[in-house]
Amino acid sequence: MDMLTFQIDTDSKIPVYQQLYAFIKKEIQSGNIKCDVKLPSKRKLSAYLNISQNTVQAAYDQLIEEGYITSIEKRGYFVCRIDNLIKLPGFYDNEAVKTDTRQEVAFDFSYHGVDHPTFPFDTWRRLTKEIINEYDKELLIPGDSFGYHRLRAALSEYLHQSRGVNCTPDQVIISSGTEILIQSLIQLFDRDKIYGIENPGYEKLNQLFISNRAKFIPISIDDKGMVPSEVRIKNPDILCLSPSHQFPSGGIMPISRRIQLLNWANESDNRYLIEDDYDSEFKYSGKPIPSLQGIDSNEKVIYMGSLSKCISPTLRVSYMVLPPHLIKLYHKKLSYILCPVPILEQKVLCSFIEKGFFERHLNKMRTVYKKKRDTLVRALTELKRGIEILGADAGLHVLIRVPNHMTEDELIESALEYGVRTYGISKYYADKSYISKKPALLLGFATMQEDEIIKAVSLLDKAWFGSV
């Protein structure tokens, strides 16, 4: 073949042999250099390009390694036969993968995250140093598939004292997210089970069921939680509930409603309640209502919780308490599932709980979040715009209805124009036909400071009511 029309980029930091290798590879891939064609010898190509023979040799060696060319003794270098890669038309978008393009804002009422300044960095650092011990062989061997046993024991004791959960450490399963625990339950139960989910509710639930080809039915909620009469009409097998602080409405299910749903589950051997004890640690008025699991006497409740809100979402530690008969079934069907949380993190968390740091941290966070909640409610109320505030008795967000005739999208967009991000409720409806004509927004306050909340509410007033 003729000499290669290759132009060396002298300004590039890429070595010349790599530039030559990449050029020849591209020519072969595009078909410009056909199979069985003989490439120029090292001597001729080095003289033509005014580079050393060693540079040409390095480029040829790389092409040989990857199977693009082959060397035949005393004959030279030849292009190998390579099948063309089939490309389906229109399968990929030519545009680059889009990243998060959300505009920067001054204030974000996100309902994700925690208060950053109060995280116990010094304590966590000290405990981590204590745990990293060369004599601790547990750090180097596979642990229990259900999670570190001492951590499970510490969690079972904490849950009993704080939430009235009745369980042994052997009933506790530790994982790295509620989503993974839900997926394991889908595998645990028969494929024909029908799940009833709150509408509106946790947005990832319907996505999880769809992706796992599991059947589910949206069930309406009112200010007391999931509606029992609709449960009986739609007749699912398993209910997914967040009774302590329904998301996103913020409602707390009273004991009478809890007993109604427990009685429904007790009517059949195949019915269960999955209790997501969402935000149960943060209740700002009255006495905490005990968990569903704590008043269940027939092994009908599967209890779930997470440390995302009370410590940090990046910790990625969630837990599930299975009734004894389901633990046996779990061992039988899902013994291959290993705990995905690193043993180091589990041991640090265990020490954090056992030494009393967790309880002190929770008490501190309750005070911090109550002040933030009070600040937000007071700031909204003092606007005297008739804004309805819902779900303020617990959790780390409130739900508001704004009486200014704007749609949900208009409320969100107008707030963004003033540098404030808010969140609409419509995305949490699995069945969109139930969306209220009165738009509602979520305002989270965990990540914001009190002075920021006041400034943000003032901007919302300007955005929604034209205050100057």
Report yes or no on 4 lying in a domain. no
Would you give the distance in Å from CA 146 to the centre of its chain? Answer: 21
pLDDT of res. 90: 58
Whole-number Å distance between alpha carbons of 204 and 277:
16
Whether the predicted pLDDT of 99 surpasses 80: no
Domain shared by 348 and 373, yes or no:
no
pLDDT of res. 149: 95
Domain shared by 196 and 57, yes or no:
no
Q: In the predicted model, what is the mean pLDDT of the chain?
A: 90
Residue span of the structural domain in which 238 resides: 134-356
Domain shared by 365 and 349, yes or no:
no
Bridge partner residues of 283 (DSSP): 394
Neighbours of 239 (CB within 10 A): 24
Bridge partner residues of 172 (DSSP): 321
Average the pLDDT over 120-147 and give the result.
Answer: 88
pLDDT of res. 411: 96
Report yes or no on 121 lying in a domain. no
User: Do residues 39 and 2 lie in contact, with contact meaning Cβ atoms separated by under 8 Å?
Assistant: no
Q: What is the CATH number of the domain that holds 41?
A: 1.10.10.10
Q: What is the CATH number of the domain that holds 179?
A: 3.40.640.10
Domain shared by 241 and 208, yes or no:
yes
Rounded (10°) CA dihedral 456, 406, 223, 182: -80
Alpha helices by DSSP H, 88-224: 121-131, 149-163, 178-188, 203-211
Q: Which pairing describes strands 388-390 and 69-72: parallel, antiparallel, or unpaired?
A: unpaired
Listed residue (207, 206, 208, 249) closest to 226, CA to CA: 249
Domain shared by 364 and 336, yes or no:
no
User: Using one digit for the tens of pLDDT, what is the confidence trace for 47-56?
Assistant: 888 889 999 9
Domain shared by 336 and 418, yes or no:
no
pLDDT of res. 7: 81
Among 356, 379, 402, the domain-final residue is 356
* Band (102; pLDDT cuts 50, 70, 90): low
Neighbours of 106 (CB within 10 A): 12
| Helix/strand/coil for 317 | coil
- Lowest-pLDDT range of 101-105, 409-413, 421-425, 461-465: 101-105
Average the pLDDT over 417-425 and give the result.
Answer: 95
User: At 225, phi and psi to the nearest 5?
Assistant: 105, -160
Report yes or no on 57 lying in a domain. yes
- Hey, which of 93-107, 158-172, 390-404 has the most confident mean pLDDT? 158-172
Domain shared by 317 and 279, yes or no:
yes
Report yes or no on 28 lying in a domain. yes
Domain shared by 343 and 436, yes or no:
no
Which residue reads 């002190």 in tokens?
A: 360
Percent of the chain with pLDDT over 90: 64
Report yes or no on 184 lying in a domain. yes
Among 313, 329, 356, the domain-final residue is 356
Domain shared by 68 and 171, yes or no:
no
Domain shared by 194 and 306, yes or no:
yes
DSSP conformational letter for 394? B
* Band (83; pLDDT cuts 50, 70, 90): confident
Report yes or no on 87 lying in a domain. no
Max Cα-Cα span within the chain:
93
User: Do residues 349 and 317 lie in contact, with contact meaning Cβ atoms separated by under 8 Å?
Assistant: yes
Whole-number Å distance between alpha carbons of 53 and 65:
18
Task: Classify residue 437 as left (phi > 0), alpha (psi -120 to 50) or beta.
Answer: alpha
Report yes or no on 221 lying in a domain. yes
Q: Is the peptide bond before 200 cis (omega within 30 degrees of 0)?
A: yes
DSSP string, 242-285: --SS-TTT-----HHHHHHHHHHHHT-TT-EEEEE-TTTT-B-S
pLDDT of res. 309: 86
pLDDT of res. 87: 61
Domain shared by 264 and 335, yes or no:
yes
Neighbours of 360 (CB within 10 A): 12
Whole-number Å distance between alpha carbons of 241 and 316:
21
Structure tokens at 187: 């595998």
* Band (185; pLDDT cuts 50, 70, 90): very high
Bridge partner residues of 72 (DSSP): 76
Into how many domains does the chain fold?
A: 3
Q: What is the CATH number of the domain that holds 447?
A: 3.90.1150.10
Whether the predicted pLDDT of 467 surpasses 80: no
User: Do residues 442 and 423 lie in contact, with contact meaning Cβ atoms separated by under 8 Å?
Assistant: yes
Handedness of CA 422, 425, 428, 430 (dihedral sign): negative
Would you give the distance in Å from CA 369 to the centre of its chain? Answer: 22
Whole-number Å distance between alpha carbons of 260 and 241:
13
DSSP string, 340-356: -S-HHHHHHHHHHHHTT
pLDDT of res. 138: 83
pLDDT of res. 86: 62
Report yes or no on 289 lying in a domain. yes
Average the pLDDT over 140-144 and give the result.
Answer: 84
* Band (204; pLDDT cuts 50, 70, 90): confident
User: Using one digit for the tens of pLDDT, what is the confidence trace for 33-73?
Assistant: 888 889 999 888 888 888 899 999 999 999 998 888 999 98
* Band (96; pLDDT cuts 50, 70, 90): very low
Handedness of CA 261, 262, 263, 264 (dihedral sign): positive
Neighbours of 331 (CB within 10 A): 12
Domain shared by 350 and 365, yes or no:
no
Average the pLDDT over 213-239 and give the result.
Answer: 95
Between the alpha carbon of residue 225 and those of residues 11, 38, 340, 392, the distances in Å are 67, 76, 32, 15
User: Using one digit for the tens of pLDDT, what is the confidence trace for 4-26?
Assistant: 777 888 788 898 899 999 998 98
Among 311, 330, 356, the domain-final residue is 356
* Band (88; pLDDT cuts 50, 70, 90): low
Rounded (10°) CA dihedral 397, 155, 203, 336: 160
